[in-house]
Amino acid sequence: MSFGAQFLRVPDLFPGRPAGEDWGDRAVTLSIAGGPCLVSGLSAVQERDLRERFGGLCRDGGEAAVSLRVFRAPAGDFREIDTRGWEYTLDLDPSPGGLRVAGMRLMARLDWPAGASRLAGALWTCEAAGEEWTSVCENTLRVLTAYRLLELGGAMIHSAGISGEGEGYLLLGPSGAGKTTASRLCLEEGATVLSDDLNALVREGDGVRMVKLPFTGDLGDRAGAPATVPLRALLRLAKGPERLRPLSRAEALAGLVAAAPFVNRDPWRREALLDALQPLAAAVPAWELTFPRGARLWSILKAIPR
């Protein structure tokens, strides 16, 4: 199937450059890891909805490291999709100088113009307001954030981020491995969850910091979670009797690559992704953690050897 055919009625009409009719003249700046990100071209209602969705991360104006401009698109440009039993994904078309994205009621592109000082994104959608609009915008921001963090030598990781006593633990594993279950078990013992879906990793000296992202899973946004904590350990989750097995550096790297959404599907950024993840994998210990249902997981994490 050609790029965009799953979502777009006429994929060949995908915009060739960031242009079109703005929804309005409003803008909001989001303080997201790798940002700030300026989202412009908004209607008053769209701005209000983003402020409600992202809360204290929003501010007016100021310098921005990345930008996303929003344009109108006719509803007829998009296919109607029966989502029953369907796991949502995005269709990506990477190139050396950019990325095209197609999804449910969205077309988007990221561009790295020659000589530009910041990553520029554009979003075309027919969604005017409400949860459908914020979902479309958030899906685009997830992709933009992944690429921006890679530019900075960091990574956005599909994971559960657990923190407590001033330290963090990153729990890896494919869907169904138990990240959300593990998060709930840790919460029951008094730990804090940054996100049970997406977290950012950035280098800091000889160590790694885990940074909270506003992109969450089943547990939603966890008020009171720290914005960032030093990372103590990476853990690959598995189900079964309790066991802790050290992972080699190669195993830890493979787990991080598999968990780096969007950019790990981009052949043009493969070397950059490996360059970013290798020092991250080398900087903290990594383990495979097998745990049964009902385990005192936070106690297990705190007892991991240093």
Say yes or no to pLDDT of 290 above 70: yes
Cα distance between the two ends of the chain: 49
Give the closest residue to 147 by CA, choosing from 269, 303, 237, 292. Answer: 269
Say yes or no to pLDDT of 103 above 90: yes
Residue 42: beta bridge partners?
26
Top mean pLDDT of 26-30, 62-66, 190-194, 202-206 is at: 26-30
CA distance 163 to 192: 5
pLDDT attached to residue 116 = 57
**Least reliable range by pLDDT among 83-92, 215-224, 234-243:** 215-224
Residue 167: beta bridge partners?
164
CA distance 145 to 143: 5
Helix axes 130-151, 44-54, angle to 10 degrees: 70
Give the closest residue to 181 by CA, choosing from 72, 24, 41, 289. Answer: 289
Say yes or no to pLDDT of 113 above 70: no
pLDDT attached to residue 294 = 79
pLDDT confidence of 220, banded at 50, 70, 90?
confident
Say yes or no to pLDDT of 88 above 60: yes
Please, what is the average pLDDT of the chain?
92
Predicted confidence (pLDDT) per residue in 67-84, tens digit: 999 999 999 999 998 877
The domain ranges of the chain are 11-151, 155-302
Say yes or no to pLDDT of 117 above 70: no
Kind and range of the H or E run holding 256: helix 249-258
In Å, the largest CA–CA distance within the chain is: 57
Q: 142-175 burial, b if ≥16 CB within 10 A, otherwise e? A: bbbbbbbbbbeebbbbbbbbbbbeeebbbbbbee
Q: Quick one: CA torsion of 291, 293, 294, 295, rounded to 10 degrees?
A: -10
Say yes or no to pLDDT of 177 above 80: no
pLDDT attached to residue 61 = 82
CA distance 240 to 253: 23
pLDDT confidence of 240, banded at 50, 70, 90?
confident
Kind and range of the H or E run holding 158: strand 155-158
Mean pLDDT of 122-137: 97
Share of the chain above pLDDT 90, in %: 74
Say yes or no to pLDDT of 131 above 90: yes
CA distance 211 to 156: 9
CATH class of 155-302: alpha beta
Say yes or no to pLDDT of 105 above 80: yes
pLDDT attached to residue 115 = 55
Mean pLDDT of 120-135: 96
pLDDT attached to residue 218 = 82
Mean pLDDT of 147-162: 95
Residue 105's alpha-carbon distances to 13, 16, 43, 140, 143, in angstroms, are 14, 18, 17, 11, 16
